[in-house]
A = this chain, B = another copy of it.
Amino acid sequence: MTTQQLIDQIKKKKSFLCVGLDVDLNKIPQHLLQTEDPIFEFNKAIIDATHHLCVAYKPNIAFFEAYGLKGWQALEKTINYLNQNHPEIFTIADAKRGDIGNTSTMYAKAFFEDLAFDSVTIAPYMGKDSVEPFLAFKDKHTILLALTSNQGAFDFQTKLVEGKELYKQVLETSKTYTNSENLMYVVGATKAEYLSEIRQIIPDSFLLVPGVGAQGGNLQDVCKYGMTKDVGLLINSSRGIIYASNQEDFAQTAAQKAEALQKEMQAILEA
């Protein structure tokens, strides 16, 4: 998917919501556990109920891998279901991979070719030759960790490297990578006050923003400091939407939560 197609979808749906699919068998409605593939059935119900309210889905790969072969099977079924039924929706493999060149190429093949995701999240620690193999894929997007939403972000990311915070060095250095136009960045909503400085370095890039909702981030602040003329934001909510109810009505309740966020986004877009 091209960035322009993503922007068009945002304008059409008046939404820049991304729904995170972190499927934990201990948290999903008990009646689904009787089905043959509870993880996929849960995802399918969430997708069916929310696809008109969001522009992206972000399966969290850890939550599939933890269930081994069955988990990987459910991941395949989920991305295939999305690509077949909602090809306009942007898909994010939240995998946080990153390794030396030939290994990164294999990860890129896994997520861009075998699973046919539009994008994948990548850790920057190993530098240029760990990121560029992902950037080589046309119309695929590499979402680099910059400033994450967790407390551990202060361990290294905000430390001064040659006078400038490490996450800013990551932003600046990554702009020099070949095919850097295929980069997006993760910036946590819990650190919205950092967004104006981030926008000075990457004025137009899309940001994937986790941490609204369960982690305490604020949508208004993120938009105030981070929005571009083409929106430039994908706001992720996972637990706040998909686990709003664990009863039989879970999908409708998820849709209500997604709609509340979509309405808030629409109001911001129309303001």
- The docked-state distance in angstroms from the alpha carbon of A66 to that of B159 is 35
The answer to the question of A76 belonging to the interface, with a C-beta cut-off of 8 Å to chain B, is yes
Residue of B nearest to A62 (CB): B106
Q: Across the interface, do A104 and B69 meet the contact criterion of CB distance under 8 Å?
A: no
* Residues in chain B near residue A73, CB distance under 8 A: 69
- The docked-state distance in angstroms from the alpha carbon of A100 to that of B73 is 24
Please count how many residues in chain A sit with their CB below 8 Å of the partner chain's CB atoms: 58
* Residues in chain B near residue A63, CB distance under 8 A: 103, 106
Q: Which of A104-162 contact B (CB under 8 A)?
A: 104, 106-107, 109-110, 114-115, 123-131, 145, 148-157, 159-162
The answer to the question of A173 belonging to the interface, with a C-beta cut-off of 8 Å to chain B, is yes
The answer to the question of A169 belonging to the interface, with a C-beta cut-off of 8 Å to chain B, is yes
Q: Would you list 11 pairs from A and B whose C-beta atoms are within 8 A, ordered by A residue?
A: A22-B102, A24-B106, A62-B106, A65-B114, A66-B114, A100-B149, A123-B126, A124-B125, A124-B155, A130-B152, A131-B152
Q: Which 9 residue pairs are nearest across A and B when measured between Cβ atoms?
A: A127-B152, A127-B155, A62-B106, A65-B110, A66-B106, A129-B152, A100-B150, A128-B152, A68-B114
Interface residues, chain A, with chain B CB atoms under 8 Å away: 22, 24, 60, 62-63, 65-69, 71-73, 76, 94, 96-104, 106-107, 109-110, 114-115, 123-131, 145, 148-157, 159-162, 166, 169-170, 173
